[in-house]
């Protein structure tokens, strides 16, 4: 941990002197064809154990590589999570049977398809509850059309590769990124941008109804408290934050239903849910504690035509060492309400520090039309230094 403290100190000194500059780019669209994330299908009509077989088989080696890395590295770097590693072979396999349907059986199917022990697949699927950094934007143009986008940043403090100047876990995640269309009776029920073999939802959309992204909430006791309570049967009257999103995508038939559900459901971890809908004014940030909502900020508050959320309460000043909000707001205002398009938002998300060393993908969603596009993201130092996070 001493190395991390030194790294943080150096970053604060460097960033305070302006070496990592702010950007508001205009030339990043369209992304090159090789950055388009592939799309796969999960057929909900199949038995739960078979739904992920094709995807898991395709990405078998990448899943194995990632799980091996998580096990080896986390035990060395994160005391709060060492308990998870110690339980991989004892408690986590049995945990699959405690989860609400269909999640436990889907994990068992992934384990069977990849040959990865069930406890390790459970670890892979609960790991994202407590280690994501993100930037989410909901914006409305002058005609009332709403666009929703997000950068997913993942891998903070999980292994800095000094040779390549990257976060190792972020690099291992990119090959697993995929769009997944969940179908039933031959129809697409909802779409997600996720990682192969990961059954929860971090980014998703029910076409014509709503879109959703989740950001981790810092400053409170993290999701590991809820995990402990679940594993040891102290409290199972709560939902995992990404499973709650999938439940909502499966069952909520209106934007208002989705907002209400995510504002009220009991959770294992604090987080931010950012939603958009198909009608003018459909946009909200739901700031969640584990037991309920601490704040609900609608689109249009403070006379703004957009919402921005990172990993801090939006009514407070973000920390100086991780302020992605201020440059994001500046860039959005520079582009203006006449430029609320996939192109303009992708340019914002491709600008530093919204784009940083942890960023693995950008997803863009238009709830009214059901359009979802996802692109691999890379922050390289050739043009300008990248913020480590």
Contact 363/203 with Cβ under 8 angstroms? yes
Mean pLDDT of 299-321: 94
* 2: confidence class by pLDDT, cuts 50, 70, 90: very low
Domain count, the chain: 2
Q: Rounded to an integer, what distance in angstroms lies between the CA atom of residue 350 and that of residue 363?
A: 11
On whether residue 2 sits in a domain, the answer given is no
- Here the tokens at position 71 are 């096990």
Percent of the chain topping pLDDT 70: 86
| Residue 89 pLDDT | 81
Contact 117/111 with Cβ under 8 angstroms? yes
Cβ burial, residue 357 (10 Å; 0-12/13-18/19+):
buried
pTM higher than 0.85? yes
User: Domain check: are 243 and 113 in the same one?
Assistant: no
| Residue 273 pLDDT | 98
User: Domain check: are 192 and 292 in the same one?
Assistant: yes
User: Domain check: are 107 and 247 in the same one?
Assistant: no
> What are the CA-CA distances from residue 75 to residues 62, 72, 81, 165, 260 (Å)?
20, 6, 7, 22, 38
End position of a domain, from candidates 99, 126, 153: 126
- Best mean pLDDT range from 15-24, 125-134, 294-303: 294-303
Contact 213/268 with Cβ under 8 angstroms? no
On whether residue 179 sits in a domain, the answer given is yes
User: Domain check: are 112 and 247 in the same one?
Assistant: no
The enclosing H or E element of 295 equals: strand 293-298
On whether residue 158 sits in a domain, the answer given is yes
Mean pLDDT in the chain?
A: 89
User: Domain check: are 122 and 161 in the same one?
Assistant: no
Mean pLDDT of 220-243: 83
Mean pLDDT of 318-344: 96
User: Domain check: are 119 and 158 in the same one?
Assistant: no
Per the model's pLDDT, the better-predicted residue between 315 and 83 turns out to be: 315
| Residue 302 pLDDT | 85
Contact 327/22 with Cβ under 8 angstroms? yes
Q: What is the CATH number of the domain that holds 299?
A: 3.60.60.10
- Our answer to whether residue 379 is catalytic in this structure is no
User: Domain check: are 200 and 217 in the same one?
Assistant: yes
User: Domain check: are 83 and 213 in the same one?
Assistant: no
On whether residue 15 sits in a domain, the answer given is no
User: Domain check: are 90 and 212 in the same one?
Assistant: no
End position of a domain, from candidates 126, 150, 179: 126
| Residue 223 pLDDT | 64
Q: Rounded to an integer, what distance in angstroms lies between the CA atom of residue 17 and that of residue 11?
A: 10
On whether residue 180 sits in a domain, the answer given is yes
Q: Rounded to an integer, what distance in angstroms lies between the CA atom of residue 108 and that of residue 91?
A: 15
**Is residue 384's pLDDT more than 80?**
no
**Is residue 76's pLDDT more than 80?**
no
Instruction: Look at 40-44, 215-219, 324-328 and tell me which has the smallest mean pLDDT.
Output: 215-219
Residues in contact with 311: Cβ distance below 8 Å, sequence separation at least 6, in sequence order: 133, 134, 215, 216, 217, 218, 272, 322
User: Active site residue: 134, 271, 331, 379, which one?
Assistant: 134
| Residue 85 pLDDT | 73
User: Domain check: are 337 and 370 in the same one?
Assistant: yes
Q: Which residues pair with 132 in a beta bridge?
A: 154
Percent of the chain topping pLDDT 90: 72
Q: Rounded to an integer, what distance in angstroms lies between the CA atom of residue 155 and that of residue 134?
A: 11
End position of a domain, from candidates 126, 155, 174: 126
User: Domain check: are 180 and 272 in the same one?
Assistant: yes
| Residue 352 pLDDT | 95
Burial 223-258 (b: 16+ CB within 10 A, else e): bbbbbebbbeeeebebbbbbbbbbbbbeebeebeeb
* 3: confidence class by pLDDT, cuts 50, 70, 90: very low
> What are the CA-CA distances from residue 119 to residues 95, 134, 187, 198, 262 (Å)?
8, 27, 33, 14, 28
On whether residue 388 sits in a domain, the answer given is no
Q: Rounded to an integer, what distance in angstroms lies between the CA atom of residue 5 and that of residue 258?
A: 40
Mean pLDDT of 148-158: 82
In this structure, what are the phi and psi dihedrals at residue 99, rounded to the nearest 5 degrees?
A: -80, 150
Q: Rounded to an integer, what distance in angstroms lies between the CA atom of residue 308 and that of residue 148?
A: 10
* 174: confidence class by pLDDT, cuts 50, 70, 90: very high
* 38: confidence class by pLDDT, cuts 50, 70, 90: very high
In this structure, what are the phi and psi dihedrals at residue 308, rounded to the nearest 5 degrees?
A: -130, 135
User: Domain check: are 301 and 286 in the same one?
Assistant: yes
**Is residue 380's pLDDT more than 60?**
yes
Task: State the residue range of the domain holding 122.
Answer: 50-126
On whether residue 3 sits in a domain, the answer given is no
The enclosing H or E element of 190 equals: strand 187-195
**Is residue 162's pLDDT more than 50?**
yes
On whether residue 22 sits in a domain, the answer given is no
- Here the tokens at position 124 are 């892979």
């Amino acid at each position: 941990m001493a190395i991390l403290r030194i790294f943080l100190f150096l970053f604060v000194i460097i960033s305070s002197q302006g070496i990592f500059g702010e950007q508001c780019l205009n030339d990043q669209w369209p992304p090159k064809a090789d950055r388009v994330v592939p799309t796969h299908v999960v057929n909900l009509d199949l038995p739960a154990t078979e739904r992920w077989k094709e995807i898991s088989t395709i990405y078998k080696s990448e899943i194995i590589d990632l799980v091996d890395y998580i096990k080896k590295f986390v035990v060395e770097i994160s005391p709060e999570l060492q308990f998870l590693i110690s339980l991989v072979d004892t408690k986590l396999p049995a945990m699959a049977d405690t989860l609400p349907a269909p999640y436990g059986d889907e994990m068992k199917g992934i384990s069977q398809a990849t040959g990865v022990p069930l406890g390790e697949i459970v670890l892979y699927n609960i790991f994202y509850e407590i280690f994501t950094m993100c930037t989410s934007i909901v914006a409305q143009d002058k005609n009332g059309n709403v666009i929703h986008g997000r950068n997913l940043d993942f891998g903070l403090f999980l292994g800095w590769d000094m040779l390549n100047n990257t976060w190792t876990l972020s690099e291992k995640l990119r090959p697993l990124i995929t769009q997944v269309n969940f179908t039933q009776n031959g129809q697409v029920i909802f779409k997600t941008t996720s990682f192969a073999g990961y059954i929860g939802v971090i980014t998703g959309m029910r076409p014509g109804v709503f879109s959703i992204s989740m950001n981790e909430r810092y400053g409170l006791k993290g999701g590991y408290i809820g995990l402990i309570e679940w594993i040891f049967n102290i409290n199972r009257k709560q939902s995992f934050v990404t499973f709650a999103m999938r439940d909502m995508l499966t069952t909520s038939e209106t934007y208002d239903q989705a907002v209400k559900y995510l504002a009220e459901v009991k959770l294992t971890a604090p987080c931010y849910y950012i939603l958009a809908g198909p009608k003018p004014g459909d946009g909200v940030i739901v700031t969640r504690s584990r037991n309920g909502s601490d704040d609900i900020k609608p689109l249009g508050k403070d006379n703004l035509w957009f919402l921005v959320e990172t990993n801090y309460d939006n009514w407070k000043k973000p920390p100086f060492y991780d302020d992605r909000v201020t440059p994001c707001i500046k860039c959005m205002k520079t582009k203006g309400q006449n430029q609320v398009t996939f192109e303009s938002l992708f340019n914002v998300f491709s600008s530093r520090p919204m784009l940083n060393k942890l960023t693995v993908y950008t997803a863009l969603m238009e709830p009214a039309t059901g359009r979802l596009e996802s692109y691999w993201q890379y922050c390289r130092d050739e043009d300008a230094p990248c913020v480590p996070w």
